[in-house]
Structure 1
Amino acid sequence: MLTFLVCLTALVIAYFTYGRYLERVAAIDPARSVPSETLFDGVDYVPMPRWRVFLIQLLNIAGTGPIFGAILGAAFGPVAFLWITLGGIFMGAMHDFLSGVMLVRNDGLSIPEVAGRYLGTGMRQFMRLFSVVLLVLVGAVFLLSPADILSGMVPSVPHTVWVWLILAYYFVATLLPIDKIIGKIYPIFGVALILMALALLGVLLFGPYRIPELTTLANAQLDPHSVPIVPTLFITIACGAISGFHATQSPLMARCVRNERECRSVFFGAMISESIIALIWAAVATAFFGGAHALAEALAANGNSAAWAVNIISNTTLGIAGGILALLGVVAAPITSGDTAFRSARLIVADIFRIEQRTQWKRFAIALPLFVAGYLITRVDFTVVWRYFAWTNQTLATIVLWAVVVWLFAAKRNYFVALLPAVFMTFICASFVFVSGQFFGMENRPAAYALAGAATAVVLCFILLKLRRNGRSNP
């Protein structure tokens, strides 16, 4: 319990300490104009109250990520608590906050356009394609997973009907102004997400469960050699620590904040909240099954299904309320993230071709092919493609971190707050390529890590060259 409480306290304190320090690093200026007032269009650029923007941002970046990833990551052992805490503070929250401010100061443009400004035209073109494909894939997956669950809950309604109903909702929500559905309904789901975490926290604090302490960094997985902590843990737990998907969602709220001083609560605060949710789920998963190794055995016996774990934990610990909790976690949350994934894809395409989005038929013209592509993907077996999503997600986060480094360097600010995490995540993503069976699967681990180190050095040299050439230009 002590390890858990220390990590939980550290996350809360970080919001008031490290968050304020990063505000000074970013030179937050309450007098600076923001996109919601300079580019107001009544559709995407719409000022909304801080509390509403925070809750929408939390729900957009959360989905099932901090729940499923935390449960799967907890099978590595209490070391997962450490990664969620330190990663959430010094990587995830820093990544979300600084990239969020960067987006606000670049007219709330989509992340490929902003990253391209600091990393070059080639990276802009790569990020455009990469981000749209990733978002359509995310939208399609978050279309299928809730449809699968709903068809199991209500067998009388065919799976295809649920797919079409969710798809229809996505289409409408993506086209409507952001303050109509997303601005009104999503804060309610955001509150529910927080309440379910608090309910589980109460179970941990006052229930008959024992949370393992961090006494060793040993890997508790059934086959530690095939899934080493470095780099697998850092890929498995993404949304609870650091996630590139967040950078694709932040432009939505970067267009809605009313003042730069709101950025800490909206971006840094939402990520800290997500880390707290992930920490609670990692703790309750290990405590419920009697330890990390027992959790790994239970998951292996049930197809490594985090959804199964959510269902049994929720219903057992919270009864009827747990059933509602499970429904929210594995149905409502992915639906809301799928909606905003498609919306973000529409905005990226609009930014690429400079298509204004005030006119409804122009929004329709962009959204239609995206939804057609998303639906076609649902007809394909994702198993192979989805295996690479977690790595792709962390790779995107790494690229954004490097863009933040260049931005801070150009502004003559402390860029080391982003440089060190960028180097670390570059090594993690590179080593996963060489160590994981999904890619090369090298059995010679020292050689694999050496290659990853060499790849990291190459990227670092490229960035240093970039800084030398144009880093001192005005941001």
Structure 2
Amino acid sequence: MNSLVLAVVGVAMILLGYFLYSKYISRRIFKLDPDYETPAHRYEDGVDFVPTNKWVLWGHHFTSVAGAAPIVGPAVAVIWGWLPAFLWVTLGTVFFAGMHDMGSLWASARHKGLSIGTLSGKYIGRHGRNLFLVVIFLLLLMVNAVFAVVIAGLLVSTPTAVIPTWGAIAVALVIGQAIYRLKWNLPVVSVVGVVALYGLMLLGDAFPIVLPDTILGLSATAFWIVVLFLYAGVASLLPVWVLLQPRDYINGLQLFIGLGILYLAIIISSPAVVAPAVNQNVPEGTPSLFPLLFVTIACGAISGFHGIVSSGTSSKQLNREPDARLVGYFGAVGEGLLALGTIIATTAGFRTLAEWESVYAAFNDGGVAAFVSAGGDILNAGLGIPSSLSATILATMAVLFAATTMDTGVRLQRFVVSEIGEIMGVKINVLVSTLVVLACTMGLAFGAGGDGSGGMVIWPLFGTTNQLLAALTLSIIAIMLIQRRRPVLPVLVPLVFVLVVSIYALIVQMGQFLAEQNWLLLGLDLVILIAAVWVVVEAASSMNRARREPAVDENAEADELDPSTRM
């Protein structure tokens, strides 16, 4: 199989999804209204509620939801062969992820920018909301811990990425001032920002930053993890326009350019896919393809984390309701294209099948390192970019994806902590909630992997929890559509499929954790499974009730929830 065929077919399928299917669901299912007053205008406060240019918001949303997951997941999952991963990413992006992301953005915007956790209280019930928040908190806990470990590992293994990683923060701060304070022309700011980022990559390639083995009693990886969490804590407290929006926007442009470079290299070099379409000779200890493929690849096909971002930050910045199509669905398209590029890089970036098998000698031996190494070889072969600079570009892409997700993830987890406090009758200070988040996430990052270097043991449970939350979010969207007497099948099909594979995977993993005597993950698995089953039962009851009740009055729904609870 030639990689060019995979690239052309895959990109065509995903883009057709945006130009055709997303137009259908935005008009017929969600009925996006250009005259609807969005929360960004109704509650504008200059901090969280900020009406935002749809392209700037797309940049924030895309980079926040993508993270390292659409690289890590597919780069691990190709061990089962390229075909299952290819089909799940392309079909999942078109029919699952786009619907989920646009739907959760629409649902939140229709309810004052409330989080999906709070909406679960309205549509599923008080008990369902409490358990929903538990699942969200645990997912964000794993997202922040996993991505910190991924970034730290890349900064150690690819020291040329250190300067562009931290230099991107300075670029974003300047861009934020240029857009919002100085009112500079957006295209000019965009070009200057992208040029600055790629200039930092050249600088980083020339001057790699290698830390000593031990710093303040910590390993280099552990030191980077601590620094990353301190940065994310500070970033989460700043107004979104100061750092979050401009960082995500300029990173989004740079990352799309990086994807363009990767695909251009694939077109020019057209390397052969050496990995099997379906791997019949998987290494010993590799779990079964079903259901593990569908939770190993979460981001890039469908991801519950996207619903948290859509309802946590993006819905509060939505300028016009129809912008949800570009921000939500096209954000999922961007992630799908990244996952597709990862599949091609990690199956065609090797000279022989034997070389590929040597890298994929065990289930978790793939990942970001395989993407950077194999993708770098494709850039070198297709565009003549030196191997070191190729690795720097791809490693920086992965780091910036993960870092922007951490920025948003810590902010969102702070919202959840405050929300849990309100349910318990305790008003939690913003600084206190941030400290709670940092303590919990660092505790998991180090507790799951000693000095942090082994924190990727969290990954299997992260993927399952992520997909489970996507199913629970789709259940809320389905209830809203049933109440409005709109077509619900496009939501129910992804809902049922993802729910079945997620719960099945949780049960399978519970047996694995028990056999390995991994009590930390076993305990988390059990809590998530119990909460999920309970919420599913409550959601099914709510759907049945919604069918019997009169259709809702959409003009009155905005006043049904207390504005003081919006998160």
Give the deviation of 1:426 after TM superposition. Answer: 1.6
1:131 is matched with which residue? 136
Tell me the secondary structure at the aligned position of residue 246 of structure 1. helix
2:544 is matched with which residue? 468
1:450 is matched with which residue? none
**Matched AA of 2:327:** V
**Matched AA of 1:130:** V
1:276 is matched with which residue? 337
Q: What CA distance in whole angstroms lies between the structure 2 residues aligned with 1:309 and 1:465?
A: 45
Distance 1:113 1:462, change over 3 A: closer
Q: What CA distance in whole angstroms lies between the structure 1 residues aligned with 2:154 and 2:7?
A: 31
| 1:209 aligned onto 2:265 | no
Measured on the aligned residues, the alpha-carbon RMSD in Å equals 2.9
Q: What CA distance in whole angstroms lies between the structure 1 residues aligned with 2:422 and 2:545?
A: 28
Alignment coverage as a number of residue pairs: 455
Q: What CA distance in whole angstroms lies between the structure 1 residues aligned with 2:291 and 2:223?
A: 40
1:186 is matched with which residue? 248
2:461 is matched with which residue? 388
1:18 aligned to which of 13, 17, 21 = 21
Distance 1:191 1:428, change over 3 A: same
**Matched AA of 2:336:** S
Q: Which runs of 5+ in 1 are unaligned?
A: 442-455
Q: What CA distance in whole angstroms lies between the structure 2 residues aligned with 1:276 and 1:90?
A: 15
Q: What CA distance in whole angstroms lies between the structure 2 residues aligned with 1:421 and 1:76?
A: 23
2:369 aligned to which of 308, 311, 316 = 308
| 1:76 aligned onto 2:104 | no
**Matched AA of 2:211:** P
Q: What CA distance in whole angstroms lies between the structure 1 residues aligned with 2:363 and 2:284?
A: 19
Distance 1:91 1:224, change over 3 A: farther
| 1:227 aligned onto 2:287 | yes
| 1:397 aligned onto 2:457 | no
**1:308-387 matches, cutoff 5 A:** 308-318=369-379, 319=386, 320-353=388-421, 362-382=429-449, 385-387=458-460
Distance 1:98 1:290, change over 3 A: farther
Tell me the secondary structure at the aligned position of residue 388 of structure 1. helix
1:413 is matched with which residue? 486
1:401-457 per-position Cα deviation (integer Å, ceiling 9, x unaligned): 11111111111111111111111112211322344553689xxxxxxxxxxxxxx99
**Once structures 1 and 2 are overlaid, which stretch shifts more, 158-167 or 8-17?**
158-167
**Once structures 1 and 2 are overlaid, which stretch shifts more, 400-409 or 154-163?**
154-163
1:287 is matched with which residue? 348
Contact 1:139 1:342 survives alignment (8 Å): yes
Relative to the length of structure 1, the TM-score reads 0.87
1:43 aligned to which of 47, 53, 61 = 47
Distance 1:413 1:110, change over 3 A: same
Q: What CA distance in whole angstroms lies between the structure 2 residues aligned with 1:97 and 1:162?
A: 35
Give the deviation of 1:130 after TM superposition. Answer: 1.9
Give the deviation of 1:374 after TM superposition. Answer: 2.2
**Matched AA of 2:415:** L
**Matched AA of 2:26:** E
1:104 is matched with which residue? 109
**Matched AA of 1:370:** V
1:298 aligned to which of 359, 365, 372 = 359
Q: What CA distance in whole angstroms lies between the structure 1 residues aligned with 2:295 and 2:396?
A: 25
Q: What CA distance in whole angstroms lies between the structure 2 residues aligned with 1:466 and 1:185?
A: 40
Q: What CA distance in whole angstroms lies between the structure 2 residues aligned with 1:247 and 1:368?
A: 24
Contact 2:76 2:364 survives alignment (8 Å): no
Q: What CA distance in whole angstroms lies between the structure 1 residues aligned with 2:23 and 2:280?
A: 37
1:155 is matched with which residue? 211
Contact 2:266 2:378 survives alignment (8 Å): no
Q: What CA distance in whole angstroms lies between the structure 1 residues aligned with 2:473 and 2:340?
A: 24
**Matched AA of 1:347:** F
Give the deviation of 1:145 after TM superposition. Answer: 2.9
1:246-266 per-position Cα deviation (integer Å, ceiling 9, x unaligned): 111112111001000100000
Distance 1:381 1:439, change over 3 A: closer
**Once structures 1 and 2 are overlaid, which stretch shifts more, 287-296 or 11-20?**
287-296
> Identity of aligned pairs, percent?
27
2:145 is matched with which residue? 140
Q: Which runs of 5+ in 2 are unaligned?
A: 160-209, 380-385, 450-454, 516-531, 558-567
Give the deviation of 1:115 after TM superposition. Answer: 2.5
Distance 1:41 1:15, change over 3 A: same
**1:79-90 matches, cutoff 5 A:** 79-90=84-95
1:58 is matched with which residue? 62
Relative to the length of structure 2, the TM-score reads 0.74
Q: What CA distance in whole angstroms lies between the structure 2 residues aligned with 1:128 and 1:206?
A: 48
**Matched AA of 1:429:** S
| 1:5 aligned onto 2:73 | no
Give the deviation of 1:397 after TM superposition. Answer: 0.9
Contact 1:59 1:189 survives alignment (8 Å): yes
Q: What CA distance in whole angstroms lies between the structure 2 residues aligned with 1:106 and 1:371?
A: 29
Distance 1:167 1:5, change over 3 A: same
2:297 is matched with which residue? 237
**Matched AA of 2:66:** A
